[in-house]
Structures are given as structure tokens and as C-alpha cells.
A and B are shown apart, each in its own frame.
Chain A
Amino acid sequence: MPNRIKSVVSGPGLLFASLGLVALFAPFLTLAANRIVAGEGVRVWDVAGPEAIIPGMVGVVIGLALGLPSAWQSVRFTGSLVGIAALVWLLMQGSTSLLEGAGTYARVSLGSGFWCLLAILLLLAADALSSLSPGPKMRSALLAVAIIVSALVLWSGALTDLSIFREYANRQDAFFNAAWRHLGLAFGSLVVAAAIGFPLGVYCHRNQGLRGAVLPVLSFLQTIPSLAMFGIMIPLLAWVGSTIPGARELGVVGIGFLPAFLALVIYSLLPVVANTVAGLEATPILTLDAARGMGMTRHQRLKQIQLPLGLPVMLAGLRIVLVQNIGLAVIAGLIGGGGFGTFVFQGLNQTATDLILLGALPTVILALISAITMDILVELARPNQMRHG
């Protein structure tokens, strides 16, 4: 009997279900008198009336239960979606009902119970998805649906009573400025790093001596702690701005966008160059010998053989850079470079947790979307070596 149960019930599913049930007892939301003081935890069954709570809790439990059967991965995935929908429902109901009569400055924030349940359900979704191993097209579709549904929920205004959305409402313009700035920092530095790094990688591949000089320097730069790097940029660019005529007029100053951007470019170079070299070297020696022997020029070999065969490795380098830069760009906020980091550091100064989250959450989501997208691209770039597989 125990063996049969073991094979029918998914191990991770059982773990998620038990952890989820425990998490239901943790404070789901917190209620505070204003945005700065620490809030008081409210358990899930106290956040609203029974007519709102019961469907939500049932939804969460059903979602966790659907995660149990080991044989039906799509059922488990559906379970995670049901659970997440139930969480959103509970948030909508709870935030509104807790604020009723709680005072003008009262704030409802997300509690540890919510975060734990969200994490558990996302893990369940990831576990089921990895067993389903959807192809790149399916994954793109899932990602698009997830983004659209999330956007609809946010736009519908159903969650506006939550403290983090209050913070957002107070800074709507600043938020979009920060978002653009953040994207500009992360993607802009990626583009510049790729424009420098790809050719540099090709030259390093061709010239052993150059490689021996370039790669150690880039690895050294990579080891400089990010805060120190941003710090070094300030006096350096300030000096450039004040000594070189015309530099200041072009916007070269010690603080702001430029030092942050440059620091990100410098961090990006190692992954781009190293992966370009590794990608170009992925071509089997015999394949290259055959290409040379049949009279392909160096340029033709690069374009027709080495680049297509090395593309997945090179894109993997860009993926590292992108995810890394989205995270690192937060620190730009500290030196006036803008981006979501601005909210994080403002929030830290004001001890306003939800303002920190307003900076941190979009960063995490952005990094996640980028990682998934790049993974899909890497897979699509993988040379077609088998029709079925």
C-alpha cells in the first residue's frame, strides 16, 4: 500500500500541499495605521466576511490538492493557476474590507502568509511545467497569457486598496519614468556591450595573444563589487567632465545616468566576450577543417558555420548580462541614475516597506520575464540538428 501511494502522489506536490496548509495560518495581510509604522498581521479567515473568504480558501486548498497526483502534470499546473487566482481573490476582498472604517491613513500590506502561499504555488507551477516541458512556442504563449492576465488584473483596479498600489498611485509619473530609465539602463548597456563584445570576442577567438590579454582584464573588472564600481565612476567621470573641454556639455558628469550606464557596460563585457569565444570554439575541429578544405573564406566560415553553431552559447551570454543588469541597475538609484532603485532607496530612507517593494517587485518581474524570453530565444537559436527532437 505505501508504495502504491508513493507512486500515485507526487513527492513535491505533497510537500507543497503541507507547506501551503501551514502557510494558511500565517498572517495573510497586515493592517497598519499609516504607511510607516509596522502593521499588525491578520489571518486569512479574518480579512473579510465568510462569503468572501470561504471561496478563496477553498480555491487555495483545491489548488494545492490538485498538485498532488503525480501522473497528471497538466492537472497540477491547473491547480497552481486555481490557487493563484484564489490568492488574488482573497487580496481583492481582504484589502477592501480591512480598510473599511480603519481611518484615512490606514494601509493594508501583503503578509508573510500571502508571500509563502504565492511562492509555494509558483513552485508547484514550475514543477508541473518542467515535467510537461513545453516547447518554445508553448512557453512564449504561456508567458504572453501570464503577462496579459496580470496586466488586466492590475488595470482593473481591483487591487488599488493595497498599500503598494497606494504608493504607486502617489508616484504614477515617477514610476513610468523610473521604468523607462531602468529599461534604458539594462537594455542600453546590453546593446552597447554586445556591440563592443561580439567583435572583441571574434578577435579574441582569432588571436590567442589578444585573448590572453583581454579576458583576464575583463574578469578582473567583473570582480569589483558593484557599489565600489559605481563609486569609482563618480570621481572618474567628474574628472573627465571638468578636464576635457566640451565633455560636460555632452552630459559627462560624476553622478546620474552615465556613470551607472558605464558601470553596467563594464560588467557586461566579460559574459559577452567569454561566451562569444566559447561559442565560436564550439564548432568541431573536423567540421572547420572540412569548411577550410572546400574553400570557404574566413568570413564565410564565421558566418555560415561558426556563428550559427555558436549562437546558443552567445545568446546565453546575453541572457546572463540582461538578468544581471536588470538587478544591478537598482544600484543606479543610489548615484542618481534613476530606475526602480530610486524607490528602493527612498523607501529605505522612509522605512516605507511598500515603497521598497514598488521598486523591487517590478525589478524581479522584469528579470524573470527577460530570463524566460532569453531562454526561449536560446532554444530557438539551437541549430536544427534533428527534425524530431
Chain B
Amino acid sequence: MIEIDNITKIYDGRAAVEAVSMTIESATITAIVGTSGSGKSTLLRMINRLVEPTTGQVRINGEPTAGLPKNALRRRIGYAIQGHGLFPHHTVAKNISAVPRLLGWHKDKIHARVNELLELFSMPPDEFRDRYPAELSGGQQQRVGVARALASRPDLLLMDEPFGALDPIIRTRAQADLHRIQRTLGSTILLVTHDMEEAIQLGDQVAVMDQGQLVQHGTPAEIITNPATEFVAEMVGGVDRPLRLLSLLSVSQILENGTAEGDPLDEKSSLREALSVCLWSGRSALPVERNGSPIGRVTLEAIRSRAEGTHEPG
């Protein structure tokens, strides 16, 4: 658990981050969203003390970070940034093993860990270990950057616009990869982005920052249904809000007994997909299946009632 306690950073008499408090549960992804200059990167960089807070405290599992030597603290916290920041003169394996080497791990343990991470990111070790960053595609470089940040099994992974330099198609894949890997490893991730879509897709929790202040912190559904300020509402985007809300819910959550005509939908599909299929095929109900066998149906009526946002998400 990471506790950020009333933290403030003042530059030249102006608060870049003002009295922000929030708690990040272990094994979750928290996305900090904001426009540029909102203080989101400063907040992130105060956690590994690349920026020293003016006042306030950060605690990792109850231990205040201010009491730890800076470099020892940073070696416990993974750090991945936009444009990956890989060392151009080191191979993929040497890049990934940077922190374990700083920590003095044994050679064999490092070797095994690098292979394990490359496998996890679908990059065959035999093929990729000895390549240099310049020989990789943008998406591969980004994956190596995240693998490097995860190498020492850190308590916490900080990511500053990790997908910012990727083109949209690769970005979507990278986001899905990150989500899968976070679920597999149970990592705690704090991610900074300017893209609300990304925050909603990835975050278990979303924190919205504006002018140095934390204006709202909650689940994606809460942010969409009950934006705390005009600014948050604007970030969420008026027109798309019902669709964004539906994209967070899965078909299994509004499953009804009964059957329906046509091609079935998997229970893990989002309501957004279900709505899309209903509208496109002109059906008012769709059959739902689990592992290929029918388990019930969803109706357009039920989807619509969810999209109205009057219900608390289940």
C-alpha cells in the first residue's frame, strides 16, 4: 500500500502540487490523469524522490520514504518513462538487468529473470537478449522499458506517459499487455497519462489532477457517472460518457435467463460491444455463452438502463 499524505511541491512560490493525499492499494493500477502543467508528473516524481516534496509525506507499506537513502528507495521502485529511456549502448538483456545489477544479484539469477521477463512480454529471449535498442521497433523498445522497470520485482511501478510515444494501434496492444502482465504479477502501478481513455481502460482507480490539485479520485465508473467538477466532466467528454461507461461493464453483469436469436456473445464482452452488435444486427436481445455453451442473454433494454448512469455500477 502506498500512502501519499498531504504532499505539496512549491516552485518559485507557486504550488506545482498542492496538498494531495491519496492511497494506492497493492496489486492495483492507479491512473493519474491531467492536462500538461497539472502537476501529475511532479506528483509521480515525488514518490521516488526525483523531486523532493516541499511538505508532506509518502509512505510505502507504512514506511516513510523520506527516511530512506534516495538511491536505495529508487531501486525498490520501478520507473518507466515516455520514449522508454533505454541505454543505447547496452543490449536488451543488459538494459533489463540494470537494477538487478545495481542490487548485486547473482549472474545466474539475473540471466533467468531476464529470460522470464522477455517471455512474459512475448519476446523470445534467444532472439532478443543480445539486440541493441536501435534494432527494435518502437513497441518492442517500450516493452523492454517496462520489463526493465519490473526486473527487480519492485514494490511499486511508476510510469510516466509510458505509451506516449507509440502510434495508436501499437498503443492499444501495449495497454492490453500491461493490463495482462499486471494481473499476472500482481504489481502495484501508478501511471501518469494525459489521455482519459487510457486512464479508464487501464485504471482500477483514476485520479484526476487540475492545477496542482487532486480534484477527483475513484473508480472509472465513478469518474464517468459523477464527475466532481466541470473540469472532470470535460476530461471525460460529454457525448461519449454513456459509451465509456458501457465499455467498463461486462455482459455477465446484466445477464438474464432466456435465449435469443443469432450469433452468441462471450460473457466477457463489454456492454459497449453488445450494444454495437444489437444496433448493427437490428436485434433487441443477444445470446450469451461461456466457453462456448449458452448461459443466458442480454437485452437492449438492460444495456440502455445501464447507460443512463442512474445506477451504481455493479
B132 and A387 form a contact (CB under 8 A): yes
**A286-B81, A286-B83, A386-B134 as given contacts; A294 in contact with B102, CB under 8 Å:** yes
CA distance A304 to B130 in the complex (A): 18
B87 and A385 form a contact (CB under 8 A): no
**A300-B102, A385-B134 as given contacts; A291 in contact with B87, CB under 8 Å:** yes
Chain A min CB distance to B75 (Å): 4
**Any chain B CB within 8 A of the CB of A49?**
no
Task: Scan B64-90; emit 1 where CB is below 8 A from any A CB, else 0.
Answer: 000000111111001111111111110
Which residue of A has the minimal Cβ distance to B44? A293
CA distance A98 to B148 in the complex (A): 75
B134 and A294 form a contact (CB under 8 A): no
B50 and A292 form a contact (CB under 8 A): yes
CA distance A288 to B87 in the complex (A): 9
CA distance A383 to B89 in the complex (A): 5
CA distance A304 to B74 in the complex (A): 17
**A286-B85, A293-B79 as given contacts; A386 in contact with B132, CB under 8 Å:** yes
B71 and A297 form a contact (CB under 8 A): yes
**Any chain B CB within 8 A of the CB of A133?**
no
B131 and A387 form a contact (CB under 8 A): yes
**Any chain A CB within 8 A of the CB of B99?**
yes
CA distance A292 to B78 in the complex (A): 11
**A289-B81, A293-B50, A295-B74 as given contacts; A384 in contact with B132, CB under 8 Å:** yes
A89-109 contacts to B, CB under 8 A, are none
**A293-B50, A294-B79, A294-B99 as given contacts; A383 in contact with B88, CB under 8 Å:** yes
**Any chain A CB within 8 A of the CB of B119?**
no
CA distance A132 to B82 in the complex (A): 40
Which residue of B has the minimal Cβ distance to A292? B50
**A287-B87, A287-B88, A309-B88 as given contacts; A296 in contact with B71, CB under 8 Å:** yes
Task: Scan B114-131; emit 1 where CB is below 8 A from any A CB, else 0.
Answer: 000000000000000011
**Any chain A CB within 8 A of the CB of B135?**
yes
Task: Scan A282-314; emit 1 where CB is below 8 A from any B CB, else 0.
Answer: 001011111111111100100011001100000
Chain B min CB distance to A60 (Å): 47
Write out the residue numbers on chain B whose beta carbons fall within 8 Å of the beta carbon of A305: 87
**A300-B102, A305-B87 as given contacts; A293 in contact with B134, CB under 8 Å:** no
Write out the residue numbers on chain A whose beta carbons fall within 8 Å of the beta carbon of B158: 293
CA distance A287 to B99 in the complex (A): 14
**Any chain A CB within 8 A of the CB of B215?**
no
Write out the residue numbers on chain A whose beta carbons fall within 8 Å of the beta carbon of B89: 308-309, 383-385
CA distance A387 to B130 in the complex (A): 9
Which residue of B has the minimal Cβ distance to A286? B85
**A308-B89, A386-B132 as given contacts; A293 in contact with B82, CB under 8 Å:** no
Which residue of A has the minimal Cβ distance to B69? A295
Q: How many interface residues does B have (CB within 8 Å)?
A: 33
Write out the residue numbers on chain A whose beta carbons fall within 8 Å of the beta carbon of B72: 295
CA distance A290 to B102 in the complex (A): 14
Write out the residue numbers on chain A whose beta carbons fall within 8 Å of the beta carbon of B145: 290
**Any chain A CB within 8 A of the CB of B42?**
no
Determine which of B74, B132, B135 lies in contact with A293 in the assembled complex, contact meaning CB atoms within 8 Å. Answer: B74
CA distance A309 to B134 in the complex (A): 14
**Any chain A CB within 8 A of the CB of B28?**
no
Which residue of B has the minimal Cβ distance to A388? B135
Which residue of A has the minimal Cβ distance to B80? A290
**Any chain A CB within 8 A of the CB of B48?**
yes
**Any chain A CB within 8 A of the CB of B98?**
yes
Which residue of B has the minimal Cβ distance to A297? B71
CA distance A288 to B158 in the complex (A): 16
CA distance A291 to B81 in the complex (A): 11
Chain A min CB distance to B22 (Å): 21
Write out the residue numbers on chain B whose beta carbons fall within 8 Å of the beta carbon of A297: 71
Write out the residue numbers on chain A whose beta carbons fall within 8 Å of the beta carbon of B149: 294
Write out the residue numbers on chain B whose beta carbons fall within 8 Å of the beta carbon of A383: 88-89
**A289-B81, A290-B81 as given contacts; A295 in contact with B87, CB under 8 Å:** no
CA distance A242 to B215 in the complex (A): 76
Chain A min CB distance to B17 (Å): 18
Which residue of A has the minimal Cβ distance to B145? A290
B131 and A290 form a contact (CB under 8 A): no
CA distance A293 to B190 in the complex (A): 14
Write out the residue numbers on chain B whose beta carbons fall within 8 Å of the beta carbon of A387: 130-132, 135
Write out the residue numbers on chain A whose beta carbons fall within 8 Å of the beta carbon of B134: 385-386
Which of B50, B70, B85, B130 is most buried by chain A, counting CB atoms within 10 A of its CB? B85
Which residue of B has the minimal Cβ distance to A290? B85
CA distance A284 to B82 in the complex (A): 13
A296-344 contacts to B, CB under 8 A, are 296-297, 300, 304-305, 308-309
CA distance A295 to B79 in the complex (A): 10
A296 and B102 form a contact (CB under 8 A): yes
B131 and A295 form a contact (CB under 8 A): no
Chain A min CB distance to B50 (Å): 6
Write out the residue numbers on chain A whose beta carbons fall within 8 Å of the beta carbon of B81: 286, 289-290, 293
Determine which of A294, A309, A384 lies in contact with B98 in the assembled complex, contact meaning CB atoms within 8 Å. Answer: A294
Write out the residue numbers on chain B whose beta carbons fall within 8 Å of the beta carbon of A291: 85, 87
CA distance A289 to B149 in the complex (A): 13
A295 and B73 form a contact (CB under 8 A): yes
Task: Scan A348-389; emit 1 where CB is below 8 A from any B CB, else 0.
Answer: 000000000000000000000000000000000001111100
Write out the residue numbers on chain B whose beta carbons fall within 8 Å of the beta carbon of A287: 85-88
CA distance A385 to B131 in the complex (A): 9
Write out the residue numbers on chain B whose beta carbons fall within 8 Å of the beta carbon of A309: 88-89
Write out the residue numbers on chain A whose beta carbons fall within 8 Å of the beta carbon of B71: 295-297
A290 and B86 form a contact (CB under 8 A): yes
B88 and A293 form a contact (CB under 8 A): no
Write out the residue numbers on chain A whose beta carbons fall within 8 Å of the beta carbon of B87: 287, 290-291, 304-305
Known: A290-B145, A300-B102. 4 other contacts (CB 8 A): A293-B48, A294-B99, A295-B75, A383-B89
22 intermolecular pairs with C-beta atoms under 8 Å apart: A286-B81, A286-B84, A286-B85, A287-B85, A287-B88, A288-B85, A289-B81, A289-B85, A290-B85, A292-B74, A293-B48, A294-B98, A294-B102, A295-B70, A295-B75, A295-B102, A304-B87, A308-B89, A383-B88, A385-B132, A387-B130, A387-B132
Q: A interface vs B, CB < 8 Å?
A: 284, 286-297, 300, 304-305, 308-309, 383-387
Considering the complex of A and B, which 9 residue pairs feature the smallest CB-CB distances, nearest first? A290-B85, A383-B89, A295-B74, A293-B79, A295-B75, A286-B85, A295-B71, A385-B134, A385-B132
